[in-house]
A = this chain, B = another copy of it.
């Protein structure tokens, strides 16, 4: 058995498949709270799972929002937003901000989350979230039901408790959550770090 196949599934061969119609099944995807601020009125929060990193240099990410959402208007006005990465403690608020509208609710008041100043954009960060990514929109691309906001990352705020004295970020301490096919999941066991398949010494090999 070669090194590259030794982690394969138990015997039985590849699984039999069924054909399904096209749909948005990619997962797990991030599920994040976007805080945004229009020219007027209070800031708002919208939860999105249609989010991803788009480019390493410059660092860019994208979020997709339907034009009917209140936050679509706010982000279109100021072209700025913050991606707040929730921990499992914010899972309830994350779900809630995905199902109620900022037209009818002050979501910071309703969830008890804290709006704190960002460093590079006018939209606030959500203080409770362990990681906050401040973004400036470079392009808004209408794709159909959703507009893809392509944005440059302009700064990050990280909870102190995630950082060791060597300035190393322990992401597993963040308690991040993922979303797949309608269900929120905690992150489980770490399998390895990037490049573990070619390292002589695999600290976490299965």
With A25-B131, A30-B29, A133-B26 as contacts: A143 and B15 at CB distance below 8 Å: no
| A1 to chain B: closest residue by CB | B112
Q: A128, B8: Cβ atoms under 8 Å? A: yes
**What is the bound-complex CA distance between A184 and B148, given in angstroms?**
27
Residues in B whose Cβ lies below 8 Å from that of A90: 7-9
Q: B99, A197: Cβ atoms under 8 Å? A: yes
Chain B CB count within 10 A is highest, among A62, A133, A141, for A62
Binding site for B on A (CB under 8 A): 2, 4-9, 14-30, 32, 49-62, 64, 66, 83, 85, 87-93, 95-96, 98-100, 110-112, 114, 116, 119, 125, 127-128, 130-133, 141, 143-146, 148, 150, 152-161, 163, 169, 171-172, 174, 176-198, 206
